[in-house]
Amino acid sequence: MGTEIKVYISVDMEGIAGVTLFEEIEAGKPGYEYFRQVMTRETNAAIEGALAAGATQVVVRDAHDSACNLLPEELHPEAMLIRNWSEGPFGMMECIDSSFAAAVFVGYHAKANTPHAILKHTMSFKIGDLRVNGLSLPEAGWNALIAGYFGVPVVFVSGDKAVCEQCKSFLEKCHTVAVKEAMGSASINLHPAKARDLIRAGVEKAVRERAQCSPFTLAGGYTVEIEFTKEEKAYRGQWYPGAERVDDRTLRFKSEDFLACLRFFEFVS
């Protein structure tokens, strides 16, 4: 029997090829139905790449907004799909564990306040910045830390050019595919078919070369700082056990165990 190779794919929507406006990724708004199809096709490209690299099981986490965006009937039949939020602490990385050989992020976006980025934010518009051990992270960084907690490396990221550049700064050897680039409030995009080709090939290469990537962890324990956009969130969050109010809008939490930090984030954000 061959070695089991499980691949975890977390899929957001802001970083999908062509997406430029928030109304295009919100259910019921113009463009949403089209772009959820594009999202599903990019996900399928990633699944195909993982399978071509020898994956024996692929788990896909719909990780955007309602978490019910991907079209189940049109998803690759070899993949398992996680829909909706469980309200547990793992969020965009629901069901990740140490049995996975690699994690893949599709359709991701840059952190809040990033220049030259498309639909930038960090988890929600309530957060201005998320820092771990002084390192300002996008959602991809936080989710990579969740994967790293279980010893799983993030081997591939696709999205706009800005998030790819951010991920390269802290995910050594991670493969990236930029499907678009910001130009003011506009965007310059690859054709969706071209984006899919690059994602398919990129994921295949990344999964094959997964041994070159290390799980994202930080030495010496974890200090998490959440800078909120409104003072009220920091006021409320300061009552969480172990939380420290740093300034009007910022909370700090320290722990040797990243899972404790994850719980803190879940309950105060």
What pLDDT, on a 0 to 100 scale, did the predictor assign at position 219?
Answer: 87
Q: Name the pLDDT band for 164 (thresholds 50, 70, 90).
A: very high
What pLDDT, on a 0 to 100 scale, did the predictor assign at position 220?
Answer: 85
Does the predicted model carry a pTM greater than 0.85? yes
What pLDDT, on a 0 to 100 scale, did the predictor assign at position 68?
Answer: 98
Give percent of the chain above pLDDT 70: 99
List, for residues 64-100, the tens digit of each pLDDT value. Answer: 999 999 999 999 999 999 999 999 999 999 999 999 9
List 122's β-bridge partners, or say none.
124
Q: Is the pLDDT of residue 1 over 70?
A: no
Phi and psi (nearest 5°) for 260? -65, -40
Cα distance between residue 34 and residue 17, in whole Å: 12
Q: Where are the beta strands (DSSP E) in the chain?
A: 6-11, 57-62, 79-82, 102-108, 127-132, 135-136, 154-160, 175-183, 186-189, 222-228, 244-247, 250-255
DSSP assignments along 47-91, one per residue: HHHHHHTT-SEEEEEE-STTS--S-GGGS-TTEEEE-S--SSTTG
Q: What number is the average pLDDT over the span 103-107? A: 99
What pLDDT, on a 0 to 100 scale, did the predictor assign at position 5?
Answer: 98
Q: Is the pLDDT of residue 239 over 90?
A: yes
10 Å CB burial of residue 27 (0-12, 13-18, 19+) is exposed
Is 18 in contact with 191 (CB distance < 8 Å)? Answer: no
Catalytic annotation present for 121: yes
List 176's β-bridge partners, or say none.
157
**Which domains, from first to last, does the chain contain?**
6-110+144-212 (3.40.50.10780), 222-268 (no CATH)
What pLDDT, on a 0 to 100 scale, did the predictor assign at position 2?
Answer: 67
Closest alpha carbon to 37 in 83, 75, 65: 75
Task: List Cβ neighbours of 194 (8 Å cut-off, separation of 6 or more).
Answer: none
Give percent of the chain above pLDDT 90: 97
Q: What number is the average pLDDT over the span 51-58? A: 98
Q: What number is the average pLDDT over the span 242-251? A: 97
List, for residues 110-134, the tens digit of each pLDDT value. Answer: 999 999 999 999 999 999 999 999 9
Task: List Cβ neighbours of 227 (8 Å cut-off, separation of 6 or more).
Answer: 127, 128, 129, 130, 131, 249, 250
Who wins on pLDDT, 120 or 2?
120
Cα distance between residue 79 and residue 44, in whole Å: 9
Cα distance between residue 101 and residue 59, in whole Å: 12
Catalytic residue of the set 64, 76, 109, 121: 121
